[in-house]
Amino acid sequence: MTSLSPLLKQATPVVVDTALGSWINADDGKRYLDFTSGIGVTSTGHCHPDVVAAAREQTGKIIHAQYTTVMHKPLLELTEKLTGVLPAGLDSVYYANSGSESIEASIRLARMATGRPNIIAFHGGFHGRTVAAASLTTAGTKFRSGFSPIMGGVQIAPFPYAFRYGWDEDTAVDFALRELDYLLKSISSPEDTAGFIIEPVLGDGGYLPTPPRFLEGVRERADRIGAVLIIDEVQAGVGRTGKFWGHEYSAAKPDILITAKGLASGFPISAMAAGEDLMAKGWPGSQGGTYGGNAVAAAAAVATLGVVEREGLVENARVRGDQLRAGLEKLQASRPFMGDVRGLGLMQAVEFVDEDGEPDAPAAAAVQQAAVDQGLLLLTCGALGNVVRIIPALVATEAEIDSGLSRFEGALDAVRDVSH
Ligand code: PMP
């Protein structure tokens, strides 16, 4: 009998039957509050009626037209819609199916535009699992061990992970910027450096918001040496952080912005946006793929952006994010194993530690498992696996956040005795 590959090992026993909004109905009759959102994808909640209607309608018109042969209207509409939300100057958009593919596209574009080989990424960053994207990824050894050699021309610079260093944020930022300068002098000279790639909030690396001064410092160095700044908004974009783009917490602007996940509420589509001059440094045929910018996915993205705007979901992410954060901090006050509570908007996390303040991955895994028993779905993350991330849909209500918090408390209490 054919079976699912062990590569697809599941963290929960849940098999979904139907889902709506923040809720998943499993095929065994149980109901779960979904604070994973398909890894930050189902931004408008599961099966938002407007997204469902747009996808249904588009499916009856045309499902697929390959965009370098025949253009379709949803992609033109989506491009027009993105104009309203992309940072000024990023007026040229390219489409693919997944975050990794658009990350790959950005690496090629940065190299083609500068004629330089090296990309500098940051420790704990996650940019995908294709070989090039995995080469930029240091959010855990499992993402890149065992299939070397990975892509060359990548340097990894320290990220200001203040909590782990036991420093305040300013000290961590000063250190990381000094290390970056050192790297630019000793390893990857400006003449060799095509670009920098960074997330506004490290995602799989542990839900660490990038300090604004650090992002601005990276921007400054990119300008100084004529390199390209790629901001990876795959997980943080489209309202997740309480601003439309996560980088808006800083004054830094990207040369290339990558978005995916929340863009189409679950339909696979990703986008790379850049200025027209920069985009023109590539050439037709150098990028693209058979399914990129699929018509149904593009229609779902147009509908998603409509819902985000009409229902004020960026604002909701901020307000509900504050509620979630306050609730988590309250739980943390009496639980030393909740070492750090952090995040932006509806991208919140708890870093678990042992009695010595060292990373406690078994505690994070135990909380995730115990949460399933409470009817709450959560994800772990972090380069050392000791972080639980909490990613409600952007449509989450006050009552749903409260319900999630009390289920989370139940899970914490169920594991506290075994982890301490
Ligand atoms: N970049 C970031 C910041 C991500 O979070 C992810 C997915 N977790 C990716 C890139 C890769 O996206 P995908 O899985 O769609 O290839």
Domains with residue ranges and CATH for the chain: 6-34+312-419 (3.90.1150.10), 49-310 (3.40.640.10)
Reply yes or no on whether the pLDDT at 418 is more than 80.
Answer: no
Q: How far is CA 19 from CA 39, 306, 406, in A?
A: 15, 21, 21
Tell which one of 98, 100, 129, 199 to mutate to probe ligand 1, the residue whose CB is within 8 A of the most ligand atoms.
Answer: 100
Please give the mean pLDDT across all residues of the chain: 97
**165 Cα: distance to centroid of ligand 1 (angstroms):** 26
> Residue 350 Cα, ligand 1 centroid: separation in angstroms?
20
User: Percentage of the chain surpassing pLDDT 70?
Assistant: 99
Res. 148: pLDDT tops 90: no
Residue minimizing CA distance to atom 12 of ligand 1: 99
- 335: three-class secondary structure by DSSP: coil
Give pLDDT, residue 417.
Answer: 67
For residue 363 and ligand 1, the question of a CB distance below 6 A is answered with no
The minimum-distance atom of ligand 1 relative to the CA of 39 is 8
pLDDT of 419 above 50: no
248-280 burial, b at 16+ Cβ within 10 Å, e below that, comes to bbbebbbbbbbbbbbbbbbbbbbbbbbeeebbe
Q: Which atom of ligand 1 is nearest to the CA of 203?
A: 5
How does pLDDT run across 157-183, given as a tens digit for each residue?
Answer: 999 999 999 999 999 999 999 999 999
User: Residue 60: pLDDT above 80?
Assistant: yes
232 lines ligand 1 (CB under 6 A): yes
Q: Does the predicted TM-score (pTM) go above 0.95?
A: yes
- The 8-class DSSP code of residue 414 comes to H
Q: Which residues of 66-97 are buried (b: 16+ CB within 10 A; e: fewer)?
A: ebeeeebebbeebbebbeebbbeebebbbbbb
Mean pLDDT of 176-201: 98
pLDDT at 416: 86
The verdict on the CB of residue 264 being under 6 Å from ligand 1 is no
For tokens 């849909």, name the residue: 393
CB of 122 closer than 6 A to ligand 1? no
| pLDDT score at 420 | 46
* pLDDT score for 217: 98
Residues 318-339: tens digit of each pLDDT: 999 999 999 999 999 999 999 9
Exposure class string for 376-393: b at 16+ Cβ within 10 A, else e: bbbbbbbbbbbbbbbbbb
CA of 260 to the centre of ligand 1 (A): 8
Give the residue whose CA is nearest to atom 5 of ligand 1: 235
Each residue of 69-92: pLDDT tens digit?
Answer: 999 999 999 999 998 999 999 999
**Dist. CA 259 → ligand 1 center (Å):** 9
Mean pLDDT throughout 365-382?
A: 98
